[in-house]
Structure 1
Amino acid sequence: MKKRKNKREDELVSLIDSDVVEEVPPGTYVDQKKHSTMGTAVFLFAITKDKKKVVVRLPSKIEEGWERAEVLYFFSKRGSEIFYDTLAHLIEASIKKLFPKAKLAGYNIRDGEVRVDFYLDGSEFSRENAERVVEFAKKLADEAEIKVIDGNPEEELKKRGEDLLAYLSKSIGSPKLIAVNDVVTLCDSELHPKRLGKIDEMYISNLSVSHWQGREDSLLLNSIHVSAFPASFDRKIFEDRREEAEKRDHVKLGKEMDLFLTSPLVGAGLILWAPNGAAMRRALDEYIVKLHQRRGYQLVSTPHIATTDLFQISGHLAHYKKNMFLFNLDEKENALKPMNCPFHILILKRKKWSYRELPVRYFEMGNVYRYERAGTLHGLTRVRGFVIDDAHIFAREDQIEEEISRILSLIEEIYSAMGLKNYSFNLSLRDPSDKEGYMGSDEIWEHAESSLERALRNMGVSYTKSIGDAAFYGPKIDVIFRDSLGREWQAATIQLDFNLPERFDLTYTDKDNIPRRMVIIHRAILGSLERFIGIMLEQYAGRVPLWLAPIQVSVLPVEEGDEKQVERARQIYEKLMSIGIRATLLTEGRLNPRLREARMLRIPVIAVVGEKEVKSGSISARYITYSEDKNGRYVPKEDEFNFSNDEELIEWIKANISKQTNGVL
């Protein structure tokens, strides 16, 4: 195995960390090292030579039978997911051992906390009982054996009296049975260590009750909320981050900046955009559309619903039905579209294509709807209805590498305009031990995976592999972005697809007039527009780049009662609005409260008009942008400018927007 280090040679970091990549050779003993931002090294994640995944709690050594191994730190995406997922099962097992009549009802993981739901026949669940559960879970963490077991999850859980878990198993794509000693429960992942090991920090963070599936006429469930960390070191990092995260919480910022809301009358996970949020979304939309047109993409538009016949052909009905919204209309089953690709394919099939006309690049800011469980929905980052910057490239096989190179260049340009730099690439492949979860033959998959990997290698792009994370119809490249708090988000995705061209019989004629099969490259760079806006709000604590700001300029007279100042401020405001600069006029009340309002709205340019500005025709302005202190905490940076006239201010704003967007806006 190759070993590559950077200047921090004494630190092992997860492969997903863009700062350090290290694969350790067989026989190496790996201890629970600590990293200043990634936390404690908690697991070894390995791929065996027969392509099976193994998770081992540290300290441990690298085994000879492993093809590749990586160290997972607690604050890496995969490390924290495995830790909390396994912890949830230990808490479930603790509940079942202490309260055998309890029926488990699933769990949710969020922000360093596991919430485990269960039904206790209407009995009260006291704080003392919860403390007993946590103490026993600590013991299980150090002693219990955890493993995936065979069997039909729904049938096995019903047999054990776990009717609620059996019901939940039907909504999971590939449900797994997990045994913690003799307690059997449900999971959507097979990645668990045999033992979780000693946990230094585990405590009750809350107790609550809720109705099963959110229905008031259903069972009343108890919930125990448990926070846990491998070591005190990790808890300290988490609490420091949480304090900073609260300032950046996009839901809180959304209210302060008056961007978006949800309503039970509309439905969970469906966003209503207020004027400020709609302006921000429109700015992002305008930039993305213009850039794609420059890059040779053709705009298309598709409806929000279709008959399920379309999704039967595409394979979504067989592989994605549990995430689709289905309904009957005119005695026909229909669906809200979960993806745009089948629609783009139908547009392509309206005519015949020659090899000279390829590639064809279709682009749409397309609305899609996907079912997510109510307990997982959150703000803009986990919703049921959203917009994707969706493109499909229909190409010849010999064009794959060039097209992927073009996409990577486009990703770089877009992320540069967003000010995003800390991202890495991950190649997601099919799990060869779970072929039923994927569509298409072994030959097609081997062809697709080798083509995508060859393209990455030929372009010299550094990347990691993730077995089992491919889409059901093809392998993909995921772009993983790490934000200012060290959290990881999947951003762009590039998927290579040989399956849908077979299903829809997509062909072109070659130079000898012989029909040849096309290949499809699916790609989205922002992903969900809603989610991306949420990420940007948290990355910049609301202080997004000038071109993306919902309101770009606020104009304030110093004295609200001075007619000349108010009139001059109004003139500036109207001139800005007339040329498309998003502005607001704040005239009511004393100056300091109005300045506070402009700051709360995160308006980057605050123009103030006083007696001096009225006489000279000049404009005094503050330009407030995002900055960080040495500890990575948000600190606004302020610069003061004095513009001699309106045109000078306007040209300055235009120049900044043009520079930030590389001339697109």
Structure 2
Amino acid sequence: MENQIQITLPDGSIRTFPKGASGLDIARSISEGLARNVLAAEVNGEVWDASRPIEADSSVKLLTWNDTSGKATFWHSSAHLLAEALEALYPGVKFGIGPAIETGFYYDVDLGDHKFSQEDFKKVEDKMLELARKKEVFTRTPVPKQEAIEYFEKKGDEYKLDLIKDLEDGKITFYTQGDFTDLCRGPHIPDTGFIKAAKIMNVAGAYWRGNENNKMLTRIYAVTFPKQKELDEYVHLLEEAKKRDHRKLGRELELFTFSERVGQGLPLWLPKGTALRERLENFLRRAQIRAGYSPVVTPHIGSKQLYVTSGHYEKYGKDSFQPIHTPDEDEEFLLKPMNCPHHCEIYRSKPRSYRDLPVRFAEFGTVYRYEQSGELHGLTRVRGFTQDDAHIFCRPDQVEEEFMKVIDLVLYVFKVLGFNDYMAQVSLRSKEDRSKYIGTEENWDKAEQAIINSAKEKGLPTVIEYGEAAFYGPKLDFMVKDALGRKWQLGTIQVDYNLPERFELEYTGADNKKYRPVMIHRAPFGSLERFIAILIESTAGNFPLWLSPEQLAVLPISEKYTDYANEIFLLLQEDDLRGYVDHRDEKIGKKIRDAEVAKTPFMLIVGDKEQADGTVSVRKKGEGDLGSMPIGQFIALAKEEINKNLLKF
């Protein structure tokens, strides 16, 4: 039996294999069809080459294109294929790093005097596919450090030499496919034949090691697929995404703008955007009040000592905190980067009894965090943003119940706004590096178990990610797919035993002794700015009626019917329906087209017949003419649609 190993598969079954069997051997024992699709193997939580021998009893998961880690391995291998193509086409090219990213991969390269441009794209794509068709095997070779140095000294690649100097001897590996060898720890797919479609997406500049004092390299972004059809579908989605870009639609729909004078990353909300934002706030505010939350308001700044006490200042560093200059040099104030320390101080403002708990504070609090200018992106990456923040202070025996109530609230938000395809990510501590977390092992264990139990009780589809916890506690992050199938992190719930300890929060128990409450952080939207950006792109700006900044447009056929149009509009306003009267001296066809472009849900056309009959002629975006009806009937129709979508919590 000493030449046999036990392999535990994801379904819990255990199979016996000869020592040194690979992931591919395991796949073949199940079916040849599976073996043809295996890209890599996850061995005891670590992703390996599918061909790498397994020497001891292990838990193994076989990875295909449908697995995130399988896709990452495919794209990492594709980066090597890109490098091989570049070396064949541009002799003397030097290579930096070439990782897989969420949307494919890139490679940072030094092409000397050659300026890589779109004219090179097709040539490189064709060369990649030519090499891929050779089905070149990716071969892993352990290499002593000195030998690795000599190899790249001979090749004249100073970037690889710079990388090698930080590596530990005995842990360096090369990967070779065809005539190309690269410094890499892997893993890789079995051979290049899996790669059937390739596209260069973009080219940009990138300083070596991210240091502006170093040379600017050429960063080539690309993507590959196992089928041409999948690449075609991906390109189509990208084109659709461009049409839905929230920056483009935000400008066209007059929702928000930015000003260099105000400052980068600080959005200015225009009237229509403000109406949209306020509708979202009011929607969640009503649900929170019904769920027992108490609204609070805290300042936009705080004393430096507040964030020293919370531990944020130490963990995030002074560069993340922007100082406020005051006439008194002894006072140190900072722009508020988060709301939780302020809410801890509100809790401390009076004695609490076990009977008072849970206490739930909610705030739409604007916070400020410094982001590098190159990382700013519309509303999804800004320097000032508003969190739909709340903090629940409860007894330890209440944690799971309160956590599940928050899950209910998050899922309610998703249901109303049409985000029905989601996965809950249980974000736990790193298994290896515990130095970046504060608090005791015991409290962390309790917090992590509370999240796992709550998610299981609610029947949430979950995935566990180690190393993704906040420094003060584990969390449940909701990963949502939008209308284009893109994944976004929306909504988060965190369990925290540590801030109550640092702020010395207490409540009096039934035995008259003092105890520490547990703190739950939660934000169903995450931030209003980012949530609205995702909402714009997912709906393409076609918001549900209850949320639309302008729900209707009253369109008089000519100036002659202006008074009647105004009368109709006043009646609509009395029923809390929002919109405008188009008084322009334009033909009705243009007014209708403009209202359609503005994505106005309803158009109410009024002319001679409507005025005589006391009716309106109704057009609905996407459906066309609904016919004439009394204004009361239209109001009932609109209210029915609003109530159908705006479910009660």
Query: What is the TM-score with the length of structure 2 in the denominator?
Result: 0.78
Give the alignment of 1:179-258 within 5 angstroms.
Answer: 193-194=187-188, 197-198=191-192, 199-208=195-204, 222-258=218-254
1:394 counterpart letter in structure 2: F
CA drift at 1:246: 3.3
Q: Partner of 1:649 in structure 2?
A: 634
Q: Partner of 2:152 in structure 1?
A: none
Q: Distance in 2 between matches of 1:420 and 1:89?
A: 37
- Cα distance change, pair 204–657 in 1 and its aligned pair in 2 (3 A): closer
CA drift at 1:71: 4.3
Asked whether 1:318 is paired with 2:318, we answer no
Asked whether 1:609 is paired with 2:606, we answer yes
Q: Distance in 2 between matches of 1:263 and 1:322?
A: 26
1:415 counterpart letter in structure 2: F
Question: Deviations for 1:474-529, whole angstroms, at most 9, x for unmatched residues?
Answer: 11112221222222222121111112222222221110011112111111111121
Secondary structure of 1:437's aligned partner: coil
1:621 counterpart letter in structure 2: V
- Cα distance change, pair 466–209 in 1 and its aligned pair in 2 (3 A): closer
Q: Distance in 2 between matches of 1:44 and 1:289?
A: 47
- Cα distance change, pair 196–472 in 1 and its aligned pair in 2 (3 A): farther
The percentage of aligned residue pairs carrying the same residue is: 35
CA drift at 1:397: 0.8
- Cα distance change, pair 107–306 in 1 and its aligned pair in 2 (3 A): farther
- Cα distance change, pair 318–201 in 1 and its aligned pair in 2 (3 A): farther
Q: Partner of 1:660 in structure 2?
A: 645
Q: Partner of 1:486 in structure 2?
A: 485
Q: Distance in 2 between matches of 1:30 and 1:385?
A: 54
Q: Distance in 2 between matches of 1:358 and 1:312?
A: 27
Q: Distance in 2 between matches of 1:379 and 1:146?
A: 45
Q: Partner of 2:367 in structure 1?
A: 368
Whether the aligned pair in 2 keeps the contact of 1:598 and 1:606 (CA below 8 Å) is yes
Q: Distance in 2 between matches of 1:619 and 1:551?
A: 18
- Cα distance change, pair 293–317 in 1 and its aligned pair in 2 (3 A): same
Q: Partner of 1:414 in structure 2?
A: 413
- Cα distance change, pair 521–578 in 1 and its aligned pair in 2 (3 A): same
Q: Distance in 2 between matches of 1:576 and 1:288?
A: 24
- Cα distance change, pair 640–211 in 1 and its aligned pair in 2 (3 A): farther
Give the alignment of 1:310-389 within 5 angstroms.
Answer: 310-321=306-317, 324-327=320-323, 329=325, 330=329, 334-389=333-388
Give the root-mean-square deviation of aligned CA atoms.
Answer: 4.4
CA drift at 1:532: 1.4
Query: What is the TM-score with the length of structure 1 in the denominator?
Result: 0.76
Asked whether 1:532 is paired with 2:534, we answer no
Alignment counterpart, residue 565 of structure 1, candidates 561, 564, 573: 561
Q: Partner of 1:427 in structure 2?
A: 426
Q: Partner of 1:292 in structure 2?
A: 288
Secondary structure of 2:489's aligned partner: strand
Q: Partner of 1:13 in structure 2?
A: none
- The structure, 1 or 2, with the larger RCO (C-alpha pairs under 8 Å, 6+ apart) is 1
- Cα distance change, pair 594–344 in 1 and its aligned pair in 2 (3 A): same
Q: Partner of 2:543 in structure 1?
A: 544
Q: Distance in 2 between matches of 1:512 and 1:211?
A: 62
Q: Distance in 2 between matches of 1:301 and 1:86?
A: 51
- Cα distance change, pair 463–117 in 1 and its aligned pair in 2 (3 A): closer
Asked whether 1:583 is paired with 2:583, we answer no
Q: Which moved more, 1:338-347 or 1:655-664?
A: 655-664
2:612 counterpart letter in structure 1: K
Q: Distance in 2 between matches of 1:82 and 1:340?
A: 39
CA drift at 1:412: 2.6
2:187 counterpart letter in structure 1: P
Secondary structure of 1:421's aligned partner: coil
Q: Which moved more, 1:363-372 or 1:388-397?
A: 363-372
Whether the aligned pair in 2 keeps the contact of 1:477 and 1:493 (CA below 8 Å) is yes
List runs of 5+ in structure 1 lacking aligned partners: 5-24, 35-39, 151-159, 170-176, 625-635
- Cα distance change, pair 209–497 in 1 and its aligned pair in 2 (3 A): closer
- Cα distance change, pair 196–649 in 1 and its aligned pair in 2 (3 A): farther
Question: Deviations for 1:527-581, whole angstroms, at most 9, x for unmatched residues?
Answer: 12112112222222221211111211111122xxx33322222222243345542
Secondary structure of 2:577's aligned partner: coil
List runs of 5+ in structure 2 lacking aligned partners: 1-8, 13-25, 146-156, 176-180
Q: Distance in 2 between matches of 1:32 and 1:244?
A: 34
Q: Which moved more, 1:546-555 or 1:454-463?
A: 454-463
CA drift at 1:442: 2.2
Q: Distance in 1 between matches of 2:33 and 2:260?
A: 46
Give the alignment of 1:73-112 within 5 angstroms.
Answer: 73=65, 84=75, 104=96, 112=103
Q: Which moved more, 1:459-468 or 1:543-552?
A: 459-468
Whether the aligned pair in 1 keeps the contact of 2:295 and 2:363 (CA below 8 Å) is yes
- Cα distance change, pair 57–384 in 1 and its aligned pair in 2 (3 A): farther
- Cα distance change, pair 337–240 in 1 and its aligned pair in 2 (3 A): same
Asked whether 1:503 is paired with 2:509, we answer no
- Cα distance change, pair 616–656 in 1 and its aligned pair in 2 (3 A): same
Q: Partner of 1:621 in structure 2?
A: 618
Q: Distance in 2 between matches of 1:96 and 1:144?
A: 18
